[in-house]
């Protein structure tokens, strides 16, 4: 069996796309995400992961015009608030919100995530990012973004500080004895007294541990520094790959890094981003995939905007019909490198005509796709897939009511949850 998750944004969902409802206003309605979470919970999904960013992209074209006109990653709500809302409406699915280790003080983060773990009864997780964009740095008071690998050194220490705060309370610190009038035993609550190069925090937290004590940690870095960080700290990793061969190589790399860090690689669940094209027949699905591919190849501006978003470099400033110069960035290095892999000597127009999702693609009937997923996972040796798609009711239904039953019939995904907490279900297989 393998695990399933959904990668989504608390932002405008598929604006102007067919069958997206009133996307221009629905994205603000928590009911859209509650409905999706309930459907995915019925389908046995491990988690929903809400990505985030603290800026409006303005690299492409030198302004925010394109991103705001096309609702590309902006406007966007803070996903942490959504966890409590969706958690109250569900009972088993894990809920992961993105948080930046570069700009969230450890005490604030540890307390907030512990609170959400209580509110969701042990189903909270945090996706750790180091915030790649210079505009994010400026929004938090810096002139320039911190150098890439140093951001991961900060993230390492951030995890140590947060973990120290999560460990301030003993498991039996809560006495709650009505006869003696003692609620908590002060001898079992201690200071963190953490002092590092980047963070200092006294502690203790003024909230006892949640049901998981340590919420599930998710991470998506693809650079060497990001992979090293994920192998040391993450319970689940979001991975980008274009092929089964890429998946296999990534899994082997994480296994080696986790073992070197003294961890059992089986405790690090790697889920690969995946996109889907479904049809009532294999031929109809292939027709739809060809139409999507042709439309994507013709959509030059969105590709350039995506590259600009990841790199922080204005790709609209390069001539379309000349070879692209070497690109170096302090922003999202692994995503930029993945999109530009194998493009030496190509013109920017040729590069922009290629697919640029960073996800494994599956095409066919729900049962045919289920078979493909099973074969891919058996060969790659990963732990599951993360659906990369906007939250629209039609897309959710295709996955939850079409694909998931086909996967279940093949014994590839769970049929119900054996445990009450997110981490227990994640480690169940």
Strands 269-278, 236-239: pairing is: parallel
Q: Which of 177, 178, 163 is nearest to 209 (CA)?
A: 163
- In the prediction, which pLDDT does 343 show? 87
Portion of the chain with pLDDT greater than 90, in percent: 91
- In the prediction, which pLDDT does 23 show? 94
Mean pLDDT of 109-129: 98
The alpha helices in 299-353, defined as continuous H runs, are 300-311, 333-340, 348-352
Supply the angle between the helices 79-89 and 30-42 in degrees, to the nearest 10: 50
Largest CA distance in the chain: 81
Domains in the chain: boundaries: 3-164+208-283+358-426, 296-352
Mean pLDDT of 160-189: 97
- In the prediction, which pLDDT does 416 show? 94
Mean pLDDT of 53-60: 96
CATH of 3-164+208-283+358-426, one of 3.40.50.720, 2.60.120.200, 3.20.20.30, 3.40.1410.10: 3.20.20.30
Q: Does 377 have pLDDT greater than 80?
A: yes
Identify each DSSP E strand in 257-321 by its residue range: 269-278
- In the prediction, which pLDDT does 322 show? 94
- In the prediction, which pLDDT does 357 show? 79
Confidence label for 36 from pLDDT (cuts 50, 70 and 90): very high
In angstroms, rounded to a whole number, what is the distance separating the alpha carbons of residues 323 and 227?
A: 30
In angstroms, rounded to a whole number, what is the distance separating the alpha carbons of residues 131 and 55?
A: 10
In angstroms, rounded to a whole number, what is the distance separating the alpha carbons of residues 407 and 413?
A: 6
Confidence label for 221 from pLDDT (cuts 50, 70 and 90): confident
- In the prediction, which pLDDT does 222 show? 87
Cβ within 8 Å of residue 187, ≥6 positions away = none
Confidence label for 282 from pLDDT (cuts 50, 70 and 90): very high
In angstroms, rounded to a whole number, what is the distance separating the alpha carbons of residues 350 and 30?
A: 40
Q: Which of 159, 170, 172 is nearest to 232 (CA)?
A: 159
The tens digit of pLDDT for each residue in 321-362 reads 999 999 999 988 888 988 898 888 899 999 998 877 789 999
Confidence label for 93 from pLDDT (cuts 50, 70 and 90): very high
- In the prediction, which pLDDT does 421 show? 98
- In the prediction, which pLDDT does 334 show? 85
CB atoms inside a 10 Å sphere around CB 158: 26
């Amino acid at each position: 069996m393998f695990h399933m998750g959904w990668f989504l944004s608390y932002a405008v969902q598929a604006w102007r796309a067919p069958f997206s409802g009133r996307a221009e206003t629905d994205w603000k309605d928590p009911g859209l995400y509650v409905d999706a979470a309930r459907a995915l919970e019925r389908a046995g999904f491990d988690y929903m992961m809400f990505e985030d960013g603290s800026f409006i992209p303005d690299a492409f074209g030198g302004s925010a015009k394109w991103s705001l006109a096309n609702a590309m990653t902006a406007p966007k709500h803070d996903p942490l608030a959504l966890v409590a809302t969706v958690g109250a409406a569900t009972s088993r699915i894990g809920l992961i919100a993105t948080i930046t280790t570069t700009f969230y003080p450890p005490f604030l983060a540890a307390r907030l995530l512990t609170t959400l773990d209580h509110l969701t009864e042990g189903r909270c997780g945090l996706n750790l990012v180091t915030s790649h964009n210079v505009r994010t740095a400026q929004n938090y008071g810096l002139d320039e973004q911190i150098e890439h690998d140093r951001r991961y050194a900060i993230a390492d220490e951030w995890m140590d500080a947060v973990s120290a705060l999560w460990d301030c309370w003993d498991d039996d610190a809560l006495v709650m004895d009505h006869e003696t009038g003692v609620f908590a035993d002060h001898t079992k609550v201690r200071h963190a007294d953490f002092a590092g190069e980047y963070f200092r925090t006294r502690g203790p937290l003024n909230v006892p541990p949640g049901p998981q004590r340590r919420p599930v940690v998710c991470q998506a870095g693809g650079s060497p520094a990001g992979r090293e960080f994920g192998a040391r700290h993450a319970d689940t990793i979001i991975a980008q790959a274009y092929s089964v061969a890429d998946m296999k190589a990534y899994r082997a790399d994480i296994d080696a890094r986790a073992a070197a860090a003294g961890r059992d690689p089986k405790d690090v669940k790697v889920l690969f981003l995946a996109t889907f094209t479904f049809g009532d027949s294999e031929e109809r699905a292939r027709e739809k995939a060809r139409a999507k591919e042709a439309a994507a190849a013709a959509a030059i501006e969105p590709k350039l905007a995506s590259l600009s978003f990841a790199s922080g470099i204005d790709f609209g400033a390069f001539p379309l019909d000349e070879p692209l110069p070497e690109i170096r960035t302090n922003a999202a290095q692994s995503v930029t490198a993945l999109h530009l892999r194998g493009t030496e000597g190509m013109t920017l127009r040729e590069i922009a005509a290629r697919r640029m999702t960073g996800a494994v693609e599956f095409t066919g009937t729900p049962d045919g796709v289920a078979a493909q997923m099973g074969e891919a996972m058996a060969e790659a040796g990963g732990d599951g897939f993360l659906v990369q798609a906007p939250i629209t009711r039609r897309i959710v239904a295709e996955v939850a009511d079409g694909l998931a039953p086909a996967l279940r019939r093949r014994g590839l995904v769970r049929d119900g949850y054996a445990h009450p907490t997110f981490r227990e279900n994640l480690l169940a297989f």
